[in-house]
Amino acid sequence: MPIATVNPANGETLKTYEAMGEEEIERRLQLAQATFRTYRTTSFAERARLLHRAADLVDEDQRDIGRVMTTEMGKPVKQARAEAAKCAKAMHWYADHAEELLADEEPAAFDVKDSGASRALVRYRPLGPVLAVMPWNFPLWQVVRFAAPALMAGNVGLLKHASNVPQTALYLEDLFHRAGFTEGTFQTLLIGSAAVDEILRDERVKAATLTGSEPAGRAVASTSGEMVKKTVLELGGSDPYVVMPSADIDRAAQVAVTARVQNNGQSCIAAKRFIVHTDVYDAFTERFVEGMKALKIGDPLEDETEVGPLASEQGRADLEELVDDAKRSGASVLCGGERPEGPGWYYPPTVLAGIDREMRIHREEAFGPVATLYRAADLDEAVLIANDSPFGLSSNVWTRDENEVDRFVRDLEAGGVYVNGMTASHPAFPFGGVKRSGYGRELSGHGIREFCNITTVWHGA
């Protein structure tokens, strides 16, 4: 895939970039290693000052970088500006809390004495240069939620961004430089996917994080495992959205529309499988389909647009294949389901019912504004359907029954359970999944400690 900005609203190639050669990659690896030697010794106060400045710059740049993101991958521009604001919020959060999250931990006095020590502690130390392989769907947020904690922990970052968002990738390097971080603290590598393996094998790279497809995750995990390097993977998701009889059906249906079509439906944590108790199935379905039909599709640079184009022609083709397979296998199309005429890689908000286990869309992630509906006889069947997926990123549950909440929290196979609301990432809460959705956690204290050397310090009596 070429490194280029191709406007998904019309297919026009706006900018192309040459991939960095071996000499430039080597220069940047050397710079990362040299910078880490000094940056790791900076104080939390100095790192926080720099990160607060970066956050302020993102806020100032919100309209410009929002337009760049929309032009590169097609999200509605209002959502792009909101993404930039969210990035600034996360940077401020880590700047304010990193020192506390990474403070020395002292074991209980009894355990210290029992170990024969006069004193002991656990200290979190940075690992070194960390390679981040990031996707296009949230081109700013996905990077910042890695970079903010990694830099506050004293690591330095190397970014291999998706090849269709090069302007956003270059903006990120420039952002941290403008904020006052030294040149090698955060660097963008304009390279193709084929170059990742060799960089991962380089001894100067100490760890890696990837958000993206399952095949890409397997490749990074395989090489990192061979090289015995720490990885964090956030892969696909096919999140369940369960609605029980006690729920506020109007509200559940309204939020369901947003939960499915956020980011044009191209979100790992978008609700994708809507599992509705039979007692409220018809009422929910009517409201949900009405909401999906009412969405305004159009130019993503217009503020009133709610659904823009998919990010790539191939992405639309992949989504069409899933829908067509379901239709051939007997699924009912309640709305959408057909490619519109005209330029750009648009696909309409679509609702499919009558899904069975043999359909590809039941097993595979639908990365676009396509929802699947399931009817559940009771809570047990709802849990069975929800867990009948290779993925386990997050989940949504709508019920006012606290006993049902307890059951769902206990039994759903997911990294998160959101009750009476839609899944959303926040810097204070850990984010990640189980099963083929990956491993490790981003955000919160868990996320900042992922790329730390957890060091025991023991003093003899």
Catalytic annotation, residues = 234, 268
Tell me the pairing of strands 391-392 and 434-435. antiparallel
Using the CB atoms, write b or e for 34-71: b if 16+ within 10 Å.
ebbeebeebebeebbebbbbbbebbeebbeebbebbbb
Residue pair 370/359 in contact (Cβ under 8 Å)? The answer is no
Tell me the pairing of strands 186-188 and 207-211. unpaired
